[in-house]
Amino acid sequence: MARISSIKLGKSSNPSMSSEDLNKLIGKKAYELYEKRGRKPGHSLNDWLEAERIVKGKFGGK
């Protein structure tokens, strides 16, 4: 599985990214954060919100 942190896209490099694609990237990053925490349950909302902040920051937000 490709790590999201390795994606090097600028803000305008993919203007046609769908919200579905964005959600997939956020989901992958959220799972990465979950694994990094040792797969401890109970933090899924925080993981999702942090992943959303990270991914949207890389793509200029939506």
Residue 6 has what pLDDT? 41
Q: Contact at 8 Å (CB) between 44 and 29?
A: no
pLDDT tens string, the chain, 62 residues long: the values are: 444 444 444 444 556 689 999 999 999 999 999 999 999 999 999 999 999 999 999 887 65
Angle, alpha carbons 3-44-2 (nearest 5°):
10
Q: Contact at 8 Å (CB) between 1 and 28?
A: yes
